[in-house]
Structure 1
């Protein structure tokens, strides 16, 4: 059989879902919702599953696939995702394969033969292949039992990542009316969910709507002043960890990547303008921990099943909350603490609105405008960010999360009337003809040729704000814009202009509270790090990671396919020294115990001996 097909394994059909979970996948208990979905699908019922990224969606179809007698077809959007899923299934001893355009005709035919012979439990294909007439006819000769549609939000025109080839997948129900179809996604509001059910022609589906909350992710936002300096400062604090940096343009991706490489960081660029081979090289290098940071456009991410991404930085504000949620959800899939950091400048949001204005009027434009406004409201929120995020998806939380920048460092308020008067007066004195940066320079009494040429060094407002930093005044101006006291005229290079509401402030007729600008780096607060307070042997953890990397390189697979960080951390915490003790570690199944167990047990035993012989401090 070709490399795309898995080796045959002992028959696991008819085993209980709990038995498969423990023996094949090595987990001791189901997560919320998994058991319900698995039971429903195993009984032949259609389903729609909404679970957060990293919430265990794949097990919702992989376990039923092993419970049922026949074949499960998985429709997946990316070649890299197919390969990653199949690699992990093979490592657990599951007969799985994929069909894609990179395979030779011989390998494709070999996989078809294995499907028809009942030798495979799961086969991954793209939506394009799933819709081919020849493929459907071949599928009719196979013992097909179930179809799983991953990233199902791509089906809906109201989703954030609509793909036309996905929209046609409803025809599968016409060809296979008695086969259960399971649609799965991490992000879908009510409109999108209804559209998925309709387009896939799901019959009385079991709907599981899980929590959208990812409590291990800390959501933080920094006002964007000097973004490159802010980024480098942040990366210095997470040195050695894996992360993704998202930007809205290819040019910016390449500029940032070049800067990071110049700082000695193992970074690589990824965007749709690169050759396929180069994109594949970057993705594989990231999966294998050879590349530490990927700087990317939104072209990168769907299909990234890497569990040890510790941070996601949005250098530019995303276009909608669904995209933000999907992209931040690539951090912390192993359940360990992770960070989602966004650099926010209202001018970026204005640029996105300008791009949207150029589109044709219609329902799609109205939907996109609503989603962009919701993203802006999230970025400018003064209440718990997690509450705002969950509320968008229809999930309401009464209590603040305690793990976002607003909760950890609540915005402080001050009497802002005087600073507002200084700022507004300066806009008035320069005749409302200049942008924010220039007005701040005048306020702070900067000496440059442009100010002298305009004679603005003679103004009464020149230098009246020199005691505060540039960043302080930018924050004040942004707040005045949010409060409706100033407008940024996009048609005139974002010049600042007074509104009618500014008159009362300038005259001192109203009170005005502003938020104290937060000019420091990302919030880090010890009291919030309860998720990271596990007691494990960090030296042993480092040794186990090194061993895992060596085994992965030898087997030509990503390290997390051997064991993920959470499993290694549990080993370094529980210190197993027998097969049964190692099997009790989450992520260690029977097949992985047989294949890798001895090497890891030996490493643990050697470490324990060395620790006894040479105790700390000796």
Structure 2
């Protein structure tokens, strides 16, 4: 049956080989085994259940957390010639009944539904009569209370499936699961160890952290470097989204915005404009993007610090889903930490959960200050080790030199010791600066021998240095909302002059994007065809497919079918028109 899977991959999706791990996962599923797939965002999770759904008799039910994801997936499948539909709250009861009837008649191979449907007795009684071969659970981390998007309705899924007269196969997928969350998913779904982790590395993504620069200037530079390319800018609050959106419009950019304070019609209209390439950049809170399968997002900017690494990887991972080089840029300012702490206090009441959220936030702060390879930092968080430096992130690629910071580090460590490891970063920085802060004077900290030892630096520079020492494991932050700074063993070795401290000093370089003339012609044709078919442009062909056309310059049907992403169905619909544009271009540019 794996040969049949290979045939379907070429016929429907236009690829001759599976991506890393896809073949193993698909082989396990079509062998009738329950399966958990941990794959990076953009790693091709959907194909892992869509191809088995085509092979199996009957229907596959896909449990999907967001309405936008369902519509996006079914639009894409329909364009490929695969019968699929969805049932959610946007449909009238008449439309729901009609689609249920069509599913009963065997009209669909895949049916997308929301997890909340599993709480309905009526829905359960209906699916009992369906010939269900498989349940595919997307965004499976939602099932774990330790997952970053916990949804209680997900926890009813397992019991409903077990109560069916004939238990179908279960396949579950996620991109953002720590080892703890993976164990939780395996236990709740009883997956018996059939877990495949293909890795979290996305080699086409270039990670950057920008500190100490004007954020709006950086945004404008990225937009200038990526003319006519799609991008997402995430901000923490609705107010920040509105201000940045207004600013970009004033600068003449085709921008949209998306946040929870807008009505559903506004959000849907702006989202459609973005996926149809009618606007270039979407400014949004984290309410935007989950399940948006727009493949040609060339950059994702985080205007503020995300709340945790899982959220960051999921949001940044919306860049470059077509495999083309794309940028993930995080703009950091210390004030962002306070915004996230406020949001934690407002949204989390359970004390143990709150403690965990603060710990996860600190890991993000460390990410912004580390000088290790950023890709490796992310991989290590998710339990992967042993990778070489990526060579492309801002820490690996930018010119730098090692500067001895041992003396400054010793002054910081001595100050922490004299303050009896009872204060936070801000107060330590004030003491080292020699501040006349009222609270500092009240606690008589100005009498310490370390008072004013780093007075030539600003408090911000000292705070940044302390955070860097935390990120490099010389120091640790203990506690929740107001953490105190403590020494780790490496700091004690530095105080005893057994070890030295070196810090990279680097110059920033810019990344410039280029577009070929032919690529633009192909994009224009794609946009025209997309408007006629009323689907997003990437449903016609991904950017990576258009770029391969530019490189291979296909001249006939066979050449075109050898381009990745061009299957038989797509060729019959669009192949001749794209061939005509390529031939016309070659005549003009022999």
Q: Same fold (TM over 0.5)?
A: yes
Q: After the TM superposition, which of the residue ranges 357-366 and 326-335 deviates more from structure 2?
A: 357-366
Equivalent in 85, 94, 101 of residue 106 of structure 1: 94
The answer to whether the 8 A contact 2:309-2:364 is kept is: yes
Structure 1 position 125 matched with structure 2 position 125: no
- Closer, same or farther: CA 424–318 of 1 in aligned 2, 3 Å: closer
- Measured after TM superposition, the shift of residue 349 of structure 1 is 2.2
CA distance in 2 between counterparts of 1:40 and 1:512 reads 51
CA distance in 2 between counterparts of 1:428 and 1:569 reads 54
The residue that corresponds to 1:59 in the other structure is 47
- Closer, same or farther: CA 381–425 of 1 in aligned 2, 3 Å: closer
The residue that corresponds to 1:396 in the other structure is 385
The residue that corresponds to 2:375 in the other structure is 386
Structure 1 position 575 matched with structure 2 position 553: yes
- Measured after TM superposition, the shift of residue 593 of structure 1 is 0.9
For residues 311-350 of structure 1, what are the structure 2 equivalents within 5 Å?
A: 311-350=299-338
- Measured after TM superposition, the shift of residue 138 of structure 1 is 1.5
Q: Name which one, 1 or 2, has greater alpha-carbon Rg.
A: 1
The answer to whether the 8 A contact 1:27-1:587 is kept is: yes
- Closer, same or farther: CA 135–560 of 1 in aligned 2, 3 Å: same
- Closer, same or farther: CA 383–258 of 1 in aligned 2, 3 Å: same
Equivalent in 339, 343, 362 of residue 373 of structure 1: 362
CA-based RMSD of the aligned residues comes to 3.7
- Closer, same or farther: CA 415–425 of 1 in aligned 2, 3 Å: farther
Equivalent in 157, 171, 196 of residue 208 of structure 1: 196
The answer to whether the 8 A contact 1:15-1:67 is kept is: no
Structure 1 position 68 matched with structure 2 position 73: no
Number of matched pairs? 552
Structure 1 position 273 matched with structure 2 position 273: no
Structure 1 position 179 matched with structure 2 position 157: no
The answer to whether the 8 A contact 1:75-1:130 is kept is: no
- Measured after TM superposition, the shift of residue 106 of structure 1 is 3.0
The answer to whether the 8 A contact 1:218-1:338 is kept is: yes
Output one character per residue of 1:377-408: Cα deviation in whole Å (capped at 9) or x when no partner.
22221211111110111111342110111111
The residue that corresponds to 1:157 in the other structure is 145
Q: TM-score, normalised by structure 1?
A: 0.81
Q: After the TM superposition, which of the residue ranges 392-401 and 248-257 deviates more from structure 2?
A: 392-401
Equivalent in 67, 76, 87 of residue 88 of structure 1: 76
Structure 2 unaligned regions, length at least 5: 412-427, 441-451, 488-496
Q: TM-score, normalised by structure 2?
A: 0.85
The answer to whether the 8 A contact 1:118-1:142 is kept is: no
CA distance in 2 between counterparts of 1:332 and 1:434 reads 49
- Measured after TM superposition, the shift of residue 559 of structure 1 is 0.3
The residue that corresponds to 1:240 in the other structure is 228
Equivalent in 419, 431, 449 of residue 436 of structure 2: 431
- Measured after TM superposition, the shift of residue 346 of structure 1 is 3.0
CA distance in 2 between counterparts of 1:351 and 1:482 reads 20
The residue that corresponds to 2:493 in the other structure is none
The residue that corresponds to 1:593 in the other structure is 571
- 3-state SS of 1:402 partner: coil
CA distance in 2 between counterparts of 1:411 and 1:287 reads 39
CA distance in 1 between counterparts of 2:63 and 2:21 reads 22
- Closer, same or farther: CA 68–480 of 1 in aligned 2, 3 Å: closer
The residue that corresponds to 2:424 in the other structure is none
Output one character per residue of 1:549-603: Cα deviation in whole Å (capped at 9) or x when no partner.
0000011000010011111111111111211111111111111111111111111
- Closer, same or farther: CA 28–417 of 1 in aligned 2, 3 Å: closer
- Closer, same or farther: CA 56–226 of 1 in aligned 2, 3 Å: same
Q: After the TM superposition, which of the residue ranges 259-268 and 40-49 deviates more from structure 2?
A: 40-49
- 3-state SS of 1:599 partner: helix
Output one character per residue of 1:428-456: Cα deviation in whole Å (capped at 9) or x when no partner.
55413599xxxxxxxxxxxxxxxxxxxxx
- Measured after TM superposition, the shift of residue 205 of structure 1 is 5.0
- Measured after TM superposition, the shift of residue 171 of structure 1 is 2.0
- 3-state SS of 1:24 partner: helix
CA distance in 2 between counterparts of 1:428 and 1:568 reads 56
- Measured after TM superposition, the shift of residue 350 of structure 1 is 4.3
CA distance in 2 between counterparts of 1:551 and 1:71 reads 31
CA distance in 2 between counterparts of 1:349 and 1:295 reads 20
Structure 1 position 79 matched with structure 2 position 67: yes
The answer to whether the 8 A contact 2:35-2:172 is kept is: yes
CA distance in 2 between counterparts of 1:486 and 1:205 reads 38
- Measured after TM superposition, the shift of residue 486 of structure 1 is 13
The residue that corresponds to 1:16 in the other structure is 4
Equivalent in 471, 475, 479 of residue 465 of structure 2: 479
Output one character per residue of 1:50-72: Cα deviation in whole Å (capped at 9) or x when no partner.
10011010001000000011100
Equivalent in 122, 129, 136 of residue 124 of structure 2: 136
The residue that corresponds to 2:285 in the other structure is 297
- Measured after TM superposition, the shift of residue 230 of structure 1 is 2.6
- Closer, same or farther: CA 205–131 of 1 in aligned 2, 3 Å: farther
Equivalent in 514, 525, 539 of residue 561 of structure 1: 539
The answer to whether the 8 A contact 2:13-2:567 is kept is: yes
- Closer, same or farther: CA 15–123 of 1 in aligned 2, 3 Å: farther
The residue that corresponds to 2:589 in the other structure is 611
- 3-state SS of 2:13 partner: coil
- Measured after TM superposition, the shift of residue 510 of structure 1 is 12
